[in-house]
């Protein structure tokens, strides 16, 4: 008997393992692997003809990525190498997991600014933020929760982008004129600037302003109508940041005299490849060890806002450059999550898709994601061989590059469209801008979302209800058209509107029937159903009958399931005349039997 039980147990165990084995095989099919690793799709089809355009595009993007990486590390309050580590890791990891050939992942101005508030004590906060953001983004991607970014409306994202651009540009105004500053925030930066005007360094100011003007002019070089030199002017325009950095380095080196430098410079950069090590789960500040739990607590809301903004930026860029192709948002989130997770092992700051570098990649004619490998290799070469040269990069030059980029980061056309289309949408836009500028970027997004939610709740609490009065066969009826969705917040409003309509009727003009109509695709919840049943009782006391006319199955089902007598409210037909005849209202009103229809039974 015991042997028989053991055999049954063994057989069941074998069946369980067979089932697990089958499910595992399904998970590791070729199609599944290709979906998870898109590189397996395009790499086997790669040919030599694609190599040259990918190399040119990668080289062009690299010449922009290096100065931007150094500049955005400055914005984040980090040493320049952290930006270069981020650019290197983003380029290589996205090749494996990414689906859009144009996207270039790396440090961006917005993520740099958002992390800046947390790295004052130690750069380890930026690296840990990168790792944890990657974990959160990856989990959201695997759970298909990218839909969360849909709750951030276009006015909010436009306001956030504008506020971030203004804040970043304001944070560099001191560096542009050679003034020392300890803050990159909007108000603090301008206060420091106007209270330290006497500390303006003429050399830095001249270099910064002239560089900014030249950069703005070079941006328009590609639009010159000279067909013979069109390709030359195009790449000159695309490489303007790299050329500005090279000019600044050369000028600073030539004018230096021993230890004296004519400009404030970025400082030393650690040479060599980024160290591969575990993300910092603890740090030391002023001799005091800060444990992981305290670090997470200090990072606070940024662990939610940075992943959401990173997803929003990356997916939006992928859609913008997809050229009609369907964007796999889940895979883009997985690629972004893996880039940040592995970035945490090489001292990277949080990274996401860069619109500027992606646009350059696209305009340079990139054919496959392999162009990112060229960009990453160029960043590695810069880390290995050019770190001593980067020491001479003037801060005024980097400030000019950042300010020049921020001027065009503001979506001026979109702001005008929001104002023209619906002025009420300008309110969440302004809330976002004001809170971002005078408080913080994280709370600015929250403020904009709350402003939008307030409008939605107000609208749902007061849907459009049109009540008209008709007379059919000498019977006065009220027709209630509900033009929007009914939910719990509008339940009392519907009832009060109908009762107010009844109360306005004079003696001899009493309404004998209320016909309640809703949209064909509208459903209701239990709160609305309960209020409708309560409304029926109140109307019956006034010798007025309520009918729910031609309701769809979903809405009618809620009434019916709530009370077995609820089907008495539901009527269907093509004309009001036939309804009145069926209800026998021609001579007198016959309300529901209130003894049969008590809400107390529900």
Q: What string of DSSP letters covers 106-172?
A: E--HHHHHHHHTT-SS-THHHHHHHHHHHHHHHHHHHTT-GGGGGGS-HHHHHHHHHHHHHHHHHHT
Q: Which helix (H) or strand (E) holds 283?
A: strand 283-285
For the domain spanning 463-583, the CATH number is: 3.30.750.24
What does the pLDDT read at residue 572?
85
Other CB atoms closer than 10 Å to residue 497's CB: what's the count? 18
Residue 398 contacts residue 109 (beta carbons within 8 Å): no
- Using CB atoms within 10 Å of the CB of residue 3, give its burial: 0 to 12 exposed, 13 to 18 middle, 19+ buried: exposed
Q: pLDDT confidence of 595, banded at 50, 70, 90?
A: very low
- Using CB atoms within 10 Å of the CB of residue 416, give its burial: 0 to 12 exposed, 13 to 18 middle, 19+ buried: exposed
What does the pLDDT read at residue 345?
92
- Residue 202: is its pLDDT beyond 60? yes
* Cα dist from 241 to 28, 222, 227, 251, 402, whole Å: 45, 14, 24, 15, 9
What does the pLDDT read at residue 596?
45
Strands 465-472 and 570-571: unpaired
CA neighbours closer than 13 Å in the CB half-sphere of residue 218? 20
- Residue 272: is its pLDDT beyond 80? no
> 381-393: per-residue pLDDT in tens?
888 888 788 888 8
> 238-247: per-residue pLDDT in tens?
778 888 888 9
- Which token pair is 51? 């190599």
Residue 299 contacts residue 129 (beta carbons within 8 Å): yes
Distance CA 28, CA 532 (A): 54
What does the pLDDT read at residue 602?
45
Q: Which of 321, 365, 404 is nearest to 60 (CA)?
A: 365
Report the pLDDT averaged over residues 122-150.
86
Order of strands, edge to edge, in the sheet holding 545-549? 465-472, 475-482, 513-518, 545-549, 570-571
What does the pLDDT read at residue 213?
92
- Across 19-28, 264-273, 579-588, which has the greatest mean pLDDT? 264-273
Q: pLDDT confidence of 311, banded at 50, 70, 90?
A: confident
What does the pLDDT read at residue 219?
82
Q: Which of 543, 589, 546, 540 is nearest to 566 (CA)?
A: 546
Give CATH 3.30.750.24 domain extents, the chain: 463-583
Residue % of the chain over a pLDDT of 90: 9
Q: Which of 220, 234, 247 is nearest to 67 (CA)?
A: 247
CA neighbours closer than 13 Å in the CB half-sphere of residue 403? 25
571: helix, strand or coil: strand
**Rounded to the nearest 5 degrees, what angle is found at the Cα of 283, between the Cα atoms of 279 and 286?**
155
What does the pLDDT read at residue 586?
42
CA neighbours closer than 13 Å in the CB half-sphere of residue 355? 19
What does the pLDDT read at residue 471?
84
> Alpha-carbon torsion 98, 102, 106, 110, what sign?
negative
Single pTM value for the model: 0.74
Report the pLDDT averaged over residues 142-167.
81
* Cα dist from 561 to 484, 529, 601, whole Å: 23, 10, 13
DSSP state of 566: G
Q: pLDDT confidence of 589, banded at 50, 70, 90?
A: very low
């Amino acid at each position: 008997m015991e042997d028989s039980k053991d055999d049954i147990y063994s057989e069941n165990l074998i069946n369980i393992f067979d089932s697990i084995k089958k499910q595992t095989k399904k998970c590791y099919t070729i199609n599944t692997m290709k979906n998870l690793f898109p590189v397996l799709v395009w790499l086997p089809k790669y040919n030599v003809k694609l190599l040259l355009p990918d190399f040119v595009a990668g080289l062009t993007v690299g010449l922009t990525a290096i100065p931007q990486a150094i500049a955005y590390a400055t914005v984040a309050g980090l040493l320049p190498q952290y930006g270069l580590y981020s650019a290197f890791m983003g380029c290589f990891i996205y090749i494996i997991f990414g689906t859009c050939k144009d996207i270039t992942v790396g440090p961006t101005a917005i993520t740099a600014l958002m992390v800046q508030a947390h790295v004052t004590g130690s750069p380890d906060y930026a690296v840990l933020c990168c790792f944890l953001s990657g974990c959160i983004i990856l989990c959201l991607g695997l759970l298909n929760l990218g839909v969360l970014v849909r709750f951030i409306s276009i006015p909010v994202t436009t306001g956030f982008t504008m506020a971030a651009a203004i804040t970043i540009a304001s944070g560099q105004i001191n560096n542009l004129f050679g003034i020392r500053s300890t803050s990159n925030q909007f108000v603090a930066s301008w206060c420091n600037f106007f209270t330290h005007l006497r500390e303006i360094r003429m050399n830095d100011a001249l270099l910064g302003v002239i560089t900014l003007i030249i950069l703005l002019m070079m941006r328009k070089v590609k639009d010159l109508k000279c067909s013979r030199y069109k390709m030359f002017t195009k790449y000159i325009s695309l490489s303007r940041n790299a050329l500005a950095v090279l000019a600044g380095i050369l000028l600073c080196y030539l004018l230096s005299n021993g230890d004296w430098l004519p400009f404030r410079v970025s400082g030393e950069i650690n040479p060599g490849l980024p160290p591969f090590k575990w993300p910092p789960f603890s740090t030391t500040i002023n001799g005091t060890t800060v444990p992981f739990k305290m670090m997470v607590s200090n990072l606070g809301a940024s662990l939610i806002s940075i992943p959401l903004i990173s997803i929003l930026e990356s997916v939006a860029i992928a859609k913008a450059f997809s050229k009609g192709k369907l964007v796999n948002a889940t895979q883009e989130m997985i690629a972004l999550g893996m880039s940040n997770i592995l970035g945490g092992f090489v001292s990277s700051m949080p990274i996401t898709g860069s619109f500027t570098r992606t646009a350059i990649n696209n305009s340079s004619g990139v054919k496959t994601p392999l162009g990112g490998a060229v960009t990453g290799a160029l960043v590695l070469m810069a880390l290995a061989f050019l770190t001593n040269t980067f020491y001479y990069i003037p801060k005024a030059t980097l400030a000019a590059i950042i300010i020049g980029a921020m001027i065009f980061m503001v979506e001026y056309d979109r702001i005008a469209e929001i104002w023209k289309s619906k002025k009420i949408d300008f309110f969440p836009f302004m809330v976002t801008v004001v809170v971002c500028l005078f408080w913080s970027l994280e709370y600015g997004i929250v403020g904009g979302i709350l402003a939008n939610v307030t409008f939605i709740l107000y609208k749902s609490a007061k849907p459009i209800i049109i009540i008209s009065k008709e007379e059919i066969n000498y019977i006065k009826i009220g027709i209630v058209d509900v033009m929007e969705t009914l939910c719990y917040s509008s339940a009392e409003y519907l009832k009060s509107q109908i009762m107010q309509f009844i109360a306005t009727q004079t003696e001899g003009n009493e309404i004998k029937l209320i016909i309640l109509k809703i949209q064909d695709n509208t459903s209701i919840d239990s709160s609305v159903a309960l209020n409708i049943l309560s409304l029926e009782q109140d109307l019956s006391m006034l010798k007025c009958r309520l009918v729910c006319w031609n309701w769809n199955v979903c809405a009618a089902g809620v009434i019916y399931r709530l009370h077995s007598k609820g089907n008495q409210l539901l009527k269907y037909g093509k004309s009001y005349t036939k309804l009145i005849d069926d209800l026998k209202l021609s001579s007198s009103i016959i309300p529901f039997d209130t003894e049969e229809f008590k809400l107390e039974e529900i």
